[in-house]
Structure 1
Amino acid sequence: MTLTAIDLFCGAGGLSAGLEMSGFRVLAGVDLFDAAGKTFEATHPHAKFIGKPIEDVKLEELFDATGLQPGELTVLAGGPPCQAYSVYNHKRGMHDARATLFRQYLRIVEGLKPEWIVMENVRGIYSIGGGEAVKAIKAELGALGYVVKEKLLRAEDFGVPQERRRVVFIGNRVNAPVRHPEPTHGPGLVPFTTIKDAIGDLPKLQNGEDLGSAGYANPPMGDFQRRVRGNLVKVSNHSAPRLGKINVERIKHIPPGGSWRDIPFDLLPAGMKRAKRSDHTKRYGRMTWDGLACTVLTKCDIHWGAYLHPEQGRAISVREAARLQSFPDWFEFVGSKTEQYVQVGNAVPPLLGEAIGRTIREIIEEKQSASMAAE
């Protein structure tokens, strides 16, 4: 059985990596971010990358790239850019042009006629227009013959060492059940993957330092590190942003689990001197080894979140951010350091993608077994 996938809005390929980890073969990816496209090509050499806005992608290009005919693709995946839906964007709304990009996804669905669809987005999509976006997506996919369900999934429930909430739409047109993956980690299950589990084996790094390709600090500790390291003996993208002199001085005062509240008043940024102690709970936050990371964004900016290393006097490196997103170490990010952080932050965590792909695969296999038994 060959399970195939195309990833629209693929970015660097986090969802693609997860689908492949669950047994799918990703045949093509579409995105307009050039640096992410180079990463996708390097990490998915068997897939065709189409670098252009989705509205310019013709169905013929996808058929030519994959060798498939309408109705033959197993899964069409992708998450339209989330900025219009994000709770961090207070101007969000259905009038935002980016909020209508899902219609381009629907155009591709109508043309390719995949058996299954997967759409991923931020939880803010529930609130815009009183749920208008969610209703529109389900209604329009329903008009194309797809039974669709959506659910808010927590990445940490699937082994990702990070608090991350994403709305995942799963549907099919082949009269199969639709269900979402069940948690594998948490109370009563496998313990959550902690920050120590995720990055505790990486070499020490100074503020602003780039180690290039460097050996690991320790042998792998635990299943997560063994899995992300595989057979590698060196790690790449272990490069930290350079904090300015004033920030270096500020973070000296912040203990593990601490935040801007631990910075002496005279060192605080002017705006934060007027802040309430209950405000901005994660700003200038320092991680704890035994905790989960806050949501990894496109900038691991210490002014906006808890992105300080648990022990070292710096913000987390690109590789540490990638580990917190559950990317394997062989996944090397291309482009400037800024572009690398964007690729990491925009991605679907591969372990979450794997759980989604595994669930769809199980349903397909169950349906095939039932069909064979009935013959």
Structure 2
Amino acid sequence: MPQEFAIVDLFAGPGGLGEGFSQAGRNDDAPMKIHLSVEMDFHAVQTLRLRAFLRSFDEFPQEYYDALNKGKAFPDWRELYPANWKLAEKEVRQRVLGNEGVFNELAVELDRARDEYCGNTILIGGPPCQAYSLVGRARNKGKADYVPEKDARHYLYREYVRILDRLRPAAFVMENVKGMLSSKVDGGGIFSRVLDDLEAAGDGYRLLPLAQTAPADGGRAEARDFLIRSEDHGIPQARHRVIILGIRNDLAGKLVLDGPVLGSRQPPVTVGDAISGMGELRSGLSRKDETNAWQEVVRAQASAIAEADEIAEDIRALARSIAGANDFPCLRSSSTRSAMSLSSNLLQEWFSDERLHSTLQHETRGHIPEDLGRYMFSAAFTRSFGRAPKLMEFPEFLQPAHKNRGSGHFADRFRTQDANRPSTTVTSHISKDGHYFIHPDPKQCRSLTVREAARLQTFPDNYWFCGPRTKQYHQVGNAVPPYLAFQIGVAVRQLLS
């Protein structure tokens, strides 16, 4: 009988890595299940706990689908299924890794997992990335008193290493932003220190790249080899992340690797593919949000674009057709769903759930009238030229009234996601505004909904994000694509077999 592996998920966010590994672990020939998830954000913890509760059943309970399909609130799970809810509360812990006393508390659970599963554990997670990301570093440079060496976020990976050292799992997977490769502290690169610490933790680990062939001599791969391009693995998003796989030394010596751990590349999946099957929506208005008022604003913005001589004729022609249209979308939210048009049957199956008859969390934001014109122009430009326009390419009447608009720092301020290619990286910034995530249809004049962003991140359609909409966006943007995590989970479990 195959040995079951227990998963410990650190800095879990809304559960992208955990969802993928859990789905991979449902295979009877290679079982894995989450033993412990640790996350600090309250709403992400609620999301994790709900998903942990659902996974405690062989099939999700009917009451879950009754609520989703009818748009009603969930029942009191604690009262309805007390034993299952208690298991979920035990599995998911709201803790701040690095805070005093947290490690000692978790150490008890880590020791229990290691002993109960006879060392057959897997550690996954991604320490917070704000100190490493290119955007975060640019923001920090603008702070007069910022000292990288005093930024504790640079060293949160050590909490991961500390737990790795205690748990001594058979394997670990650590994810972080591309900027970690070039981030420097104390005059040196942080990434080489991370690799040294991971390699030396516990009983020692062999570090493997996922998308490149590991060195035949057993040595360490080049830093750039740990970079994963998600779009190469069937993800509808150009998300480039550092992902390090470690195999414990007593197991690594038995490995025979004749190619990349993740295998060959997959055909690209586009934005248009990923968000197909969801109803058209209109954007909202920040004031006087009524359908007729919205249509008047859209027509006025379209007419202004159509009459602007400095705009390309094909964009103006599209604007004229929008100005004269009578078939505008009227709803800001929709639960209707139709068949997807994905060329990847595996990914389509990943999204789908035959018991789910509605589209979840598919509701638009409200925008100011000027932004509706900017969104329309950007989407029309992208449709015509295959790329989003730079800010300097917007006509003057659509330019934002920002004093620093000419600085060049905001050239990509309004960015449409091209329907014909994978999206740009979905980040937590999507929770602040939709300017970087404009829907490809010029007539809808809006940013992506939570569910559309979740599709680009490959969350299954039955995945519910807890909290207000802003928090839902934040969770989606902070996650590892679950379908990528599923592929990693399958590959890791095969190596351990």
1:160 aligns with 2:235: yes
Q: Measure, in 1, the Cα distance between the counterparts of 2:35 and 2:17.
A: 13
Q: Measure, in 2, the Cα distance between the counterparts of 1:172 and 1:94.
A: 30
How far apart are 1:134 and its partner, in Å?
1.8
How far apart are 1:140 and its partner, in Å?
1.8
1:237 aligns with 2:313: no
Name the one with the larger helix percent.
2
For residues 109 and 289 of structure 1, do their structure 2 counterparts lie closer, same or farther at Cα, with a shift above 3 Å needed? same
Bigger radius of gyration:
2
Q: Which amino acid aligns with 1:136?
A: R
Q: Measure, in 1, the Cα distance between the counterparts of 2:448 and 2:272.
A: 13
Q: Which amino acid aligns with 2:45?
A: G
How far apart are 1:221 and its partner, in Å?
2.0
For residues 20 and 301 of structure 1, do their structure 2 counterparts lie closer, same or farther at Cα, with a shift above 3 Å needed? closer
Unaligned runs of at least 5 residues, structure 2: 26-31, 57-87, 142-147, 210-225, 285-330
For residues 139 and 290 of structure 1, do their structure 2 counterparts lie closer, same or farther at Cα, with a shift above 3 Å needed? same
1:105 aligns with 2:160: yes
Aligned to 1:123: 178
Partner deviation per Cα, 1:45-103 (whole Å, 9 max, x = no partner): 24510101113142345248858548524210111001111011123845420111111
How far apart are 1:192 and its partner, in Å?
0.5
Unaligned runs of at least 5 residues, structure 1: 366-375
In angstroms, what is the RMSD of aligned CA positions?
Answer: 2.5
For 2:415, which of 258, 265, 285 is the aligned residue?
A: 285
How high is the TM-score relative to the length of structure 1? Answer: 0.87
Alignment partner of 1:175: what SS? helix
How high is the TM-score relative to the length of structure 2? Answer: 0.67
For 2:488, which of 353, 356, 360 is the aligned residue?
A: 356
Aligned to 1:215: 336
Partner deviation per Cα, 1:218-249 (whole Å, 9 max, x = no partner): 22322233430221211211122221222123
Do the aligned partners of 1:73 and 1:112 also contact (CA within 8 Å) in 2? no
Alignment partner of 2:38: what SS? strand
1:253 aligns with 2:377: yes
Alignment partner of 1:343: what SS? helix
1:147 aligns with 2:206: yes
1:2-81 matches, within 5 Å, as 2-23=4-25, 24-45=32-53, 46=56, 47=88, 48-55=91-98, 56-57=102-103, 58-63=105-110, 68-69=115-116, 72-81=119-128
Aligned to 1:340: 472
Q: Measure, in 2, the Cα distance between the counterparts of 1:227 and 1:17.
A: 11
Partner deviation per Cα, 1:126-152 (whole Å, 9 max, x = no partner): 111276322222222222212223510
Do the aligned partners of 1:197 and 1:225 also contact (CA within 8 Å) in 2? no
**Count of aligned pairs between the two proteins:** 357
Do the aligned partners of 2:39 and 2:94 also contact (CA within 8 Å) in 1? yes
Do the aligned partners of 2:114 and 2:121 also contact (CA within 8 Å) in 1? no
Calculate percent identity across the aligned residue pairs: 31
Aligned to 1:196: 272
For residues 78 and 71 of structure 1, do their structure 2 counterparts lie closer, same or farther at Cα, with a shift above 3 Å needed? farther
Q: Measure, in 1, the Cα distance between the counterparts of 2:117 and 2:191.
A: 26
Q: Which amino acid aligns with 1:21?
A: Q
Q: Measure, in 2, the Cα distance between the counterparts of 1:7 and 1:61.
A: 16
Which moved further from structure 2: 25-34 or 249-258? 249-258
For residues 95 and 169 of structure 1, do their structure 2 counterparts lie closer, same or farther at Cα, with a shift above 3 Å needed? farther
Which moved further from structure 2: 306-315 or 203-212? 203-212
1:327 aligns with 2:402: no
How far apart are 1:8 and its partner, in Å?
0.2
